Chain A
Amino acid sequence: MNPLTRFIFELQEISVLIWRSFVSLFSAPRYVGEWIRQMDLIGVGSIPIVLLTGFFTGGVLVLQTFPTLEYYSIQNESGRSVATSLIRELGPVLSALMVSGRIGSAIAAELGSMVVSQQIDAMRAFGTDPNRKLVAPRLLALIFMLPLLTVAADIFGLIGGAIVANQLYNQDVSVFVSSARNGIQVEDIIGGVIKPIFFGLVIGSVACHKGLSTTGGTVGVGRSTTDSVVIASIWVIIFDFFLSKALQYILDIGRI
């Protein structure tokens, strides 16, 4: 199969996977317990890494941009620069990448080992639709939890930025906060929450598809896991560009 055919084929498989899981939400059985368990695993479980990522990213942004801003004598705008770049861009993308590494790999590995040990076959043989029981809860959890994680990362990023500005560059916290508040608009926040919804879908569907299409025993599981993280991360970054462009157009943000 040539690469283009393979790509289109995989895209089709992923679309079917998403569609089937989506449709399954509208009829019983619904496995609500499984939804909640996945939200806990994916959402609550990822809080530490996402908060740390946000905190240090905010901090390093101030660390690196403050001298430049000072050169142009606009160091009072450091809050604005951190807030816009974090909320529009870095918060969603970095959280998605962290979650892709932590959760995407776990999903692909778990589903992959279930395939090679025939547990997926067993599930189907006992009358359970794996889309319903395994894929839908994971997609749902990622779509709901990633935006929340992103917001948490944004907040910790701003805290990190404020601490660095205050401790290393002796800026008053109130200056930082007011410039951050002036710098961001409601549209920025909306855009910053819409992005992770899509990223969650990308990470979840790629990981589930890679996991469920595992072949070739334990080596295959390793391959699926790697593929899932690499492919999901690349697609997050590519999607981010096009989403940013679309959001700029739709919400009219990023013009100033």
Chain B
Amino acid sequence: MLDSDLERTIRADGTEVITDFEEPINDRNRVAPVIEFRDVHLSFDDKVILDGVSFSVRRGETKLILGRSGGGKSTTIRLILGLLKPDSGQIFIDGEDITDYTEEEMMHVRHKIGMVFQEGALFDSISVYENVAYRLREQNVDEDEVEHEVRRMLRFVDLEDAIDKMPAELSGGMRRRVGIARALVGDPEIVLYDEPTAGLDPPTARTICELAIKLRDLQDVSSIFVTHEMNNVGYLSSEYAIINHDGEVVFEKEGERLCLINTEVIMFRDGKVIFNGTDEQLRSNPDPYIHKFVYGKN
């Protein structure tokens, strides 16, 4: 960095403060959205999947996407990865307009994104180790580093014991966790979760949510979390992770003194965004459809 990038100011108490000129730019980046949809439309044959969807995800923010099955939630995620292309509208990732990117151009965008698939989508012909190592292998990273990374990620999801197992030997919850470990290799800035807790028992689902909270609060990951379970909304929008004095990660609930603002909820209905706001606003929304979705009854 050039010395001219640094601004020196002398404070009243005589201490010198050096301000890095690059910092304000980074700060501006924090406000600029990491993911942005602008009036996205998509239909398959005659079926309208997304009908003018616009929303954005800021850096370090988690967006919970709620909605009934088949409401366009998973499609949204596939659009972000470029696995599908919209009929019209624009999609921005990190300020780049990826709408018309070719498959080759998408490859470098995808390096920034980690994806957790519905059922894990582990490659079942290779071991857990190779699954997690997949992305590094594609980048020809040397073996020592691969092993180090794989172990670090498996430790993060608390599955280091399963390293030599085949995906078929794992339970549903373990498969999702390996899927999360695989998505996190290479420390992506964006992590997309496609119904990661569907079909899991409550404690396992809670574990998955805790992993997402840890990533959000301790690693500054921006994410989209697609779900239709209100439990997940409760965990993710009202709890945060901190490291206590003993160096352990603990989860605390928001309260009178602190309200989480890094998690918001979007709700889809028939391809349209019908709600976009905080969980408190969601719970007090008078719309009968939303009320029924949140509380399960009118």
Contacts and interface: CB of A to CB of B under 8 A. Distances in A.
Interface of A: 29, 117-119, 121-129
Contacts of B103: 124, 129
A29 B182 CA distance: 21
Contacts of A128: 138
B135 A117 contact: no
B123 A121 contact: no
Contact of B123 (A29, A122, A125, A129): A122
B83 A119 contact: no
B111 A127 contact: yes
A218 B163 CA distance: 28
Given A29-B138, A128-B138, A129-B103, A118 B118 contact: yes
Contacts, number: 46
Interface centre among A117, A125, A129 (most CB of B within 10 A): A125
B121 A122 contact: yes
Give 10 nearest A-B pairs by CB, closest first.
Answer: A118-B121, A122-B121, A125-B115, A118-B117, A127-B107, A126-B135, A125-B81, A127-B110, A119-B121, A121-B83
Given A118-B118, A119-B123, A121-B83, 4 more contacts: A124-B81, A124-B83, A125-B81, A126-B182
A117 B81 CA distance: 17
A127 B78 CA distance: 14
A221 to B, nearest CB: 14
Interface of B: 78, 81, 83, 103, 107, 110-111, 113, 115, 117-119, 121-124, 134-135, 138, 182
A117 B115 CA distance: 14
Contacts of B113: 125
B83 A126 contact: no
Contacts of B121: 117-119, 121-122
Contacts of B118: 118
A119 B121 CA distance: 5
Given A118-B118, A119-B123, A125 B83 contact: yes
A70 B78 CA distance: 70
Contact of B78 (A117, A121, A123): A121
Contacts of A125: 81, 83, 110, 113, 115
B213 to A, nearest CB: 23
A112 to B, nearest CB: 13
